[in-house]
Amino acid sequence: MKGVVTVGLDGTLQSMAAARWAAREAELRRARLLLLHAWIPHDPAPDHGPAEEGNTESSPHRMTDEARAVILTSHPDLAVHVRVVCKDPLNALAKAADESDLLVLGSRGLGAAARFTLGETGLELVTRTAVPTVLVRAQQAVPARIGSGNVTVGVSLHGSCDGLLAFAFETAARRSVMLRAVHGRRLSPYAYNRGGPDRIAAEEAAQIARDELAAALRPWRKKFPDVHVDAQVILESPAPALLHGTANAELLIVGRRHRGRLLPPRIGHVVQAAVHHAPCPVAVVPFD
């Protein structure tokens, strides 16, 4: 563990909401919080440009200093560091993510595409970072009191998902809340008749899924005996099934499998749906 939670700031309401969420998370983890702002100047740097990072009168520094002051008002004992760099945001945030346990970004959420406040940078980071990335919308700036809700994780059951479940159980344990593990399974076309789904076939499919979900959760229940787990199997497509399970959730956790360097990184439809429509912050967790 590196003991660092990094949040990308860009001056928007969404990124400030992300900073507040990240501060609470850093406090729970007993970690340091890094507020990072990176930008590429539109005009060539003047002769004294290299000293820009030490110029606290500049707008980027004012923005990060104000954000730091806001965070310390609510979290006076939190170690908060500020980094302002004159670099490509994608490269700067990717490098910072490699040195962190968690990356937090602001998210616009709803839209025709997965558009984050950092634009294409945010989309690229979600698909490429090797650490969990949490996306927070502006309306989530003041989430429910920690411990008053639950943590929800989507479990696909297509292969091992230990990295995803480790993050989910650790997060629920840290907050002392229930973990809701949701698996959505679409019925086979053969399970339908003219009147709709065959009741017996649907129950058989649901029981198989419940057994598989229980098997995936069993070792983690033993490792985290104090975490209460609500395992749910919903017979519908994974994306809507997961969203139906987010009631009272403090955080929704979805997985993104590593696909190897030979295949282009992408965000699957479940992650897309979660980012667009979830009523709470969304953690995208890469796992093998």
CATH number at residue 279: 3.40.50.620
Q: Report how far residue 12's alpha carbon sits from residue 7's, in angstroms, rounded to the nearest whole number.
A: 13
> Please, what's the b/e burial string for 74-105 (b: 16 or more CB within 10 A of its CB; e: otherwise)?
ebeebebebebbeeebbebbbebbeebbbbbb
Residues 247, 205 share a domain: yes
Domain that holds residue 77: 4-140
In a domain, 47, yes or no: yes
The DSSP element (H or E) to which 179 belongs, if any, is strand 178-184
229 and 108 share one domain: no
183 and 263 in a single domain? The answer is: yes
Whether residue 39 is predicted with pLDDT greater than 50 in this model: the reply is yes
Confidence at 65, pLDDT banded by 50, 70, 90: very high
Q: Is residue 214 a part of any domain in this protein?
A: yes
Inform me whether the pLDDT recorded for 122 exceeds 80: no
For residues 279 and 157, membership in a common domain is answered with: yes
145 within a domain of the structure (yes/no): no
**Angstrom distances, CA of residue 7 to CA of 41, 47, 48, 215, 262:** 21, 30, 28, 35, 29
pTM (2 d.p.)? 0.85
Per-residue pLDDT band at 88 (split at 50, 70, 90)? confident
Lowest mean pLDDT among 27-36, 38-47, 211-220: 38-47
The span from the CA of 288 to the CA of 281, in Å, is 23
Split into its structural domains, the chain has a count of 2
Q: At 264, give phi and psi (nearest 5°).
A: -70, 140
